[in-house]
Amino acid sequence: MLEALSEKLKNAIRKLLGKSVVDEKAVEELLKELKIILIEADVDLGIVNNFIESVRKKLFKEKIPAGFTLRDYSIKIVYEELVKILGEKAYEINGKKIMLIGLFGSGKTTTAAKLANYLRKFGKVALVCLDYHRPAAPEQLKQLAEKINVKYLIGSDAYSVAKESLEKFKNFDFIVYDTAGRDALDENLASELKSLAEIIKPDEKLLVIPAEIGKVAKSQSEEFNKLVGITGIIVTKMDSSAKAGSAISACVATGAKVKFVCYGEKIDAIEKYDPKRFVSRILGLGDLETLIEKAKEVVKPEKTEKLIEGDFTLEDFIEQIESFQKIGPFDKIFSMIPGLSLPKDIIKKQEDTMKKWKYIIQSMTPKERKEPEIIDESRIKRIAKGSGTSEEEVRNLISQYFKVKKMMKSFGGMKGLSRGNLQNLLKQFGFRV
Amino acid sequence: MFDFLKKKLKNFVEKISKKVEDKDVESKKVEEKVEKENVKRKKLIEKLVPKKILTEDDVKPFLEDLQIDLIEADVAYEVSEKIKKDLLGSLVSMEIKKGEEKKLIKDFIRKSLFDILNLPKVDLVKEIQNKKPYLIVFFGFNGSGKTTTIAKVAKYLKDKGFKCVLAAADTFRAASIEQLEIHAKKIGVDLVKQKYGADPAAVIFDAKKHAEAKRIDVVLADTSGRSYSNENLMEELKKIVRVNKPDLKVLVVDSLTGNDAVNQAKYFGEIGVDAVVFTKLDVNEKGGAILTVSYILKKPILFVCNGQGYNDIKEFDAKEFIDNLLEE
């Protein structure tokens, strides 16, 4: 999610961090780069210019607070200004009648089902189809509704279905309306949408906007807003698109905030939007909060100490692997760590190797894990068979283990690295560790 | 359609032309002054007369503006760089001939764009006549408009006198099969389907067999929308290609796509794309994705779709497209 964008932002910020002296010129360079990056991420040009201007003003016209270097402060400001655009907190669904609106192919019907499934936790939900233009749209809604087991209403014409739904689902807690995809500038479709909104009087009018859409996001959002008044935004296809600048444009154009993010094809691939995390990731600061929370849960301090001392057994090794896997897939973990980026295929390969190591270690006896020195050829044969790997792979793991152990001992453990560069890095980004 | 780009390109031509004019006036002034001086000094001063050619400093600011405009029109950054470089190369040291500058500048733009869009065409009718049944597989990102496009292409081919069968190989998305079925009925072509969750490669295989048995000319296969970052789905697509060996692999791209068009072109390109269809042109005044995808994929544009009706499909003509962009 957003790799390509954050990759570039990361580079821009890294460049700034790498400079020995951060002066006005260096900041100007950063701002210039930021501009190109944001435009490339499909954010509207006017919005980008305003953004850059407000950052510049803050940095050069205001006094930098005591205790901040220009370097720290500029990163803090960039972060804060982006949060300002996207909203400062996660927003709730307000009210009962929720209408989804958007362009063709933005993912409204799938999103309607996802949203209904999500809302089921909070009350009785019904799905209503108001799309009688696209062939089989009602059928799609019906199949999805049956799959998640919620009541639904389909008919043959949008107006009568809209009216019927108000009576039929009177006692429900939520009614989710799926409308036809439309070009907001198409007069017929626009007036249909307007009339439907007048009949239903929805409490929420959510604009569904796909993450990969280009600069047209702004004008379409503006039009939809004029037609019915947008109250919130759902960003779809976040799993696949590298950029979601369209969401920023839509927020500015409608004044509404993002409420949900959809990141996959499955029915539960929807989550409440968290602007702070979103910005962290765009900025290449990574999803630090999540990482810290999760890392706290799984990494026991004494184990880390052992690792740092260079005194660890294969048993500790497997525990480390397991706790790493609990945090999430490798590429996600790495994307969460700022300033660290590895090619995807290398990460994937490393992940596969780690999995194999886990199987190999699991096929060892407790004694072998504690004293790997005793593992001889016949033991290797047995371990390879038991773990479904080759003898070569078992040998590799063992030699890798001894190498690491030896290296750590000769360096006096990882102590030389003074408690981890990560923490220093985090501090630089203004996070309390 | 494309009014934005059109306007911006026109703007650029105007600005450069203005610059040319200014320079012309400037050098004339100096020339007149020189005329008045005696011959001896004239020789010296001649060196100081500004040359009647554009310099890098003359055009750079305008090119930078143009680049921003292109990016604003959803042309990807790397593609805008190429156009910028092309124009810089041809504009610098361009000789100033008053009255002809507009045409010259436009020719330079035309050349740069033609470079991107002039790709060997696919003659669909001829290809189908040479091999029957002819299998076309359509794939692309979620919501790009594959199913609707297939219906339009089927209608187009049927009007050309070919018999078509649709293969409902999107066995994932709810009601995708029903959607294609309705289209098939409306256009009056056959449809081959299985259950949801069935192996898409097998559905296409069935459709091929059906076409062979019934002497049908073309098989048009619909596949589920997929994200290029989903490895499993990309593997599935590879399998579809491996098993069925399509005669034409068509990537369907939403023309509203922003810079993500780069990724779509790159990753779907790895599967092997033979031609591209752009959809939703009726919604778009920018359309830079067309330039982006063509530049990266280097595959011809088979059709462009611009509306909801079955007949809202057009063969793409690069020359016509560019002429339209540059016309007054």
A109-113, A172-176, A280-284: range with lowest mean pLDDT: A280-284
**pLDDT band for position B292 (50/70/90)?**
very high
Q: Hey, of A109, A117, A212, A262, which one would you mutate to test binding to chain B, going by the most B CBs within 10 A of its CB?
A: A212
pLDDT value of position B40: 62
- Regarding predicted confidence, which is higher, A79 or A231? A231
The CATH number that applies at residue A368 is 1.10.260.30
User: Measured between CA atoms, how close is B227 to chain A, in angstroms?
Assistant: 5
Q: Hey, of A8, A147, A241, which one would you mutate to test binding to chain B, going by the most B CBs within 10 A of its CB?
A: A241
Residues B60 and B148 in one domain: no
Q: Is A389 on the interface with B (CB under 8 A)?
A: no
Q: Is residue B143 part of a domain?
A: yes
Indicate yes or no: CB of B229 within 8 angstroms of CB of A240: yes
User: Measured between CA atoms, how close is B116 to chain A, in angstroms?
Assistant: 20
The CATH number that applies at residue A207 is 3.40.50.300
Residues B89 and B128 in one domain: no
A37-46, A139-148, B302-311: range with lowest mean pLDDT: A37-46
Indicate yes or no: CB of A104 within 8 angstroms of CB of B258: no
**Between B68, B76, B258, which is nearest A212 by CB?**
B258
Helix axes B288-297, B77-91, angle to 10 degrees: 90
DSSP collapsed to 3 states, B223-242: ECCCCCCCHHHHHHHHHHHH
Interface size A-B, in CB pairs within 8 Å, comes to 135
Asked whether the predicted pLDDT for residue A97 surpasses 80, the reply is: yes
Domain boundaries, position B54: 3-117
Q: Specify whether the CB–CB gap between A380 and A351 falls below 8 A.
A: no
Q: Which residue has the tokens 């491996």?
A: B242
Instruction: Give contacts of B173 with chain A, Cβ < 8 Å.
Output: 110, 140
pLDDT value of position A339: 44
Instruction: Give contacts of B229 with chain A, Cβ < 8 Å.
Output: 239-240
Counting residues of chain A whose pLDDT is more than 90, the rounded percentage is: 27
In chain A, the N- to C-terminal Cα span, in Å, equals 26
For the residues B158-172, what does the mean pLDDT come to? 95
List the 243-282 stretch of A: residues with Cβ below 8 A of B: 243, 245-246, 265
pLDDT value of position B39: 65
The amino acid at residue A31 is L
Q: Is residue A283 part of a domain?
A: no
Domain boundaries, position A76: 3-86
Residues A72 and A205 in one domain: no
The amino acid at residue A230 is I
ipTM more than 0.85? no
Residues A266 and A294 in one domain: no
**Between B174, B256, B263, which is nearest A214 by CB?**
B256
pLDDT value of position A359: 86
DSSP 8-state secondary structure symbol assigned to residue A266: S
pLDDT value of position A1: 33
Indicate yes or no: CB of A105 within 8 angstroms of CB of B176: no
For the residues B278-301, what does the mean pLDDT come to? 90
pTM: predicted TM-score of the whole model, two decimal places: 0.74
What is the spatial distance between Cα B210 and Cα B221, in angstroms, rounded to a whole number? 13
pLDDT value of position A261: 87
Q: Is B254 on the interface with A (CB under 8 A)?
A: yes
The CATH number that applies at residue A58 is 1.20.120.140
**Between B174, B261, B286, which is nearest A143 by CB?**
B174
For the residues B255-266, what does the mean pLDDT come to? 89
Average pLDDT value for chain A: 76
**pLDDT band for position A146 (50/70/90)?**
very high
Residues A241 and A381 in one domain: no
Find the Cα–Cα–Cα–Cα dihedral A286, A290, A296, A298, rounded to 10°.
-100
pLDDT value of position B170: 94
Show Cβ contacts of residue A304 under 8 Å, excluding neighbours closer than 6 positions. none
Helix (H, G, I), strand (E, B) or coil at A178: strand
Residues B151 and B31 in one domain: no
